[in-house]
Amino acid sequence: MTRIAIVTGAARGIGAATAQRLAADGNAVAVLDLEESACADTVAAITDAGARALAVGADVSDAASVERAVARVAEELGAPTILVNNAGIIRDNLLFKMTEEDWDAVMSVHLRGAFLMTRAVQEHQVKEGWGRIVNLSSTSALGNRGQANYAAAKAGMQGFTKTLALELGRYGVTANAIAPGFIVTDMTRATAERLGVSFDDFIAARAAEVPVQRAGYPDDIAAAASFFCSEEAGFVSGQVLYVAGGPRA
């Protein structure tokens, strides 16, 4: 059976890889990002492989924008029953340098965005009696220097996920979170730039700290999302899966 999935922040990185993996799994996918035009490459990759995809521009932190986006997906692809809340930004700084704007921007995209998207999609999931929600957390939820805002948001995603599992389970909807470790993306490239080191050196240094001795890649996260969104994962809910190449104290 073809399901309809929405992946936020899907223009690049983890979101793009996840959208393509869910399409390869047999789902039609709405590729959602702030600018619709930015989704073109991801949509092309999916459609070139023979699956259905729709580019959708939306600000996940804006309720009206979210409602319009989900309504468009329902009209053009069908009722969405899979949601991957991946959209995110970073505004890293030490606490004494962090502005209120830095704090609010990160909370708005990560937590408010996940809340608004889930509230809009769960109506379709409950009606269909089936659903999968995957929220992107991070190992930063355990604490990370210079990321008070991001760490708090990613820890919040875990509590949000567990609450969704409790509230929506009776309707056939599961909710799980993935907490990536160091993943090679544009976001981690920006971190390297902020620290003033080359991206290659940054990757090598971080990989040396990982038990499996390599950095992670978007496809590693997409594989985990694929499982959580599958029919076979119907008895797995409220879980946080650390995809980080090993345990982190």
pLDDT in tens, 86-113: 999 999 999 999 999 999 999 999 999 9
User: Rounded to the nearest 5 degrees, what angle is found at the Cα of 23, between the Cα atoms of 244 and 234?
Assistant: 65
Q: What is the pLDDT of residue 191?
A: 86
3-class secondary-structure state, position 129: coil
**pLDDT score of 124:** 98
Q: pTM for the full model?
A: 0.97
Would you place residue 187 in the very low, low, confident or very high pLDDT band (cuts 50, 70, 90)? confident
Q: How many CB atoms lie within 10 A of CB 37?
A: 9
Helix axes 13-24, 40-48, angle to 10 degrees: 20
150 is catalytic: yes
In the set 150, 171, 217, 242, the catalytic residue is 150
Task: Give ∠ CA 71-73-78 in degrees, rounded to 5.
Answer: 105
User: d(Cα 82, Cα 42) in Å, to the nearest integer?
Assistant: 18
Q: Is the pLDDT of residue 152 over 50?
A: yes
> Is residue 248 predicted with pLDDT exceeding 60?
yes
Average pLDDT over the chain, rounded to an integer: 97
Show Cβ contacts of residue 237 under 8 Å, excluding neighbours closer than 6 positions: 165, 169, 174, 175, 176
Say which residue, 53 or 194, is predicted with more confidence. Answer: 53
Please check the confidence at residue 249 and state whether its pLDDT lies above 70: no
